[in-house]
Amino acid sequence: MTTHPEPPDEQVITDPEVARLLSRRQAALHVSSFLDQDRSIAESAARLERPIGQVHHWVHRLVAAGVLRVVEVVPRAGRPIKRYRAVARSFRLPAALVPPEHYEQQMALINREVVDAVASVADMPNQDLTIRLGESGQVSFNRLSDRGVASSLHSLQTSMGGLFLTEEQADELWSELDALRQRWAEAGHDRGTPGTVPYLVQLTMVPRPER
């Protein structure tokens, strides 16, 4: 395989149209396959587990936008194979160029995926709804209150919205959650590793405005 100069670590996007394109989740997904090394469309489709036609569509758009480039054309009998690479290892979209609705749309998609996955794995229609007061005196609604069942299903959805902490306690909890996230991110396997199952893990901690 031909060796090419390594792309820069970051490229700041200045074109509003390119920024709008890259803010789309599917665009970011398809760019990700070319951030670490050059790949053909077929190799990218296998890595992302997406149809070749879909990957070809996005690669064409990303090349036209200047986000991907052809780094090699491999001759063969029939049509040559093009290999692509992102023009940078990462991309930064200035806040002024990020579509105003981007955050809400992305969070809605992520939350929808989590809700759908929990409902499917936990057979939610057949779970009782429990309403009780927590230790802090805040009311809680729990559709999967049996921790034994939750453990056997590997499905646990919990909200600690009534947790009141000092700044020091919040710092400590955040550090513990971040260390847990980092530890399992490093322990995980690559996509498609035999014997692995994809999991959605959502950790969110943020001060809650008083209502």
Write the burial class of residue 62 (CB in 10 Å: 0-12 exposed, 13-18 middle, 19+ buried). buried
pTM more than 0.85? no
Q: Which of 52-56, 75-79, 94-98, 163-167 holds the top average pLDDT?
A: 52-56
Domain residue limits, the chain: 11-97, 102-162
**128-152 mean pLDDT:** 65
**5-31 mean pLDDT:** 92
Helix then strand count (H, E) for the chain reads 7, 7
CB atoms inside a 10 Å sphere around CB 150:
19
**At 145, is the pLDDT very low, low, confident or very high (cuts 50, 70, 90)?**
low
User: Residue holding tokens 């009141």?
Assistant: 164
- At residue 152, the pLDDT reads 61
- At residue 90, the pLDDT reads 94
Write the burial class of residue 179 (CB in 10 Å: 0-12 exposed, 13-18 middle, 19+ buried). exposed
What architecture (CATH level 2) is domain 11-97?
Orthogonal Bundle (1.10)
Which DSSP symbol is given to 110?
Answer: H
**At 155, is the pLDDT very low, low, confident or very high (cuts 50, 70, 90)?**
low
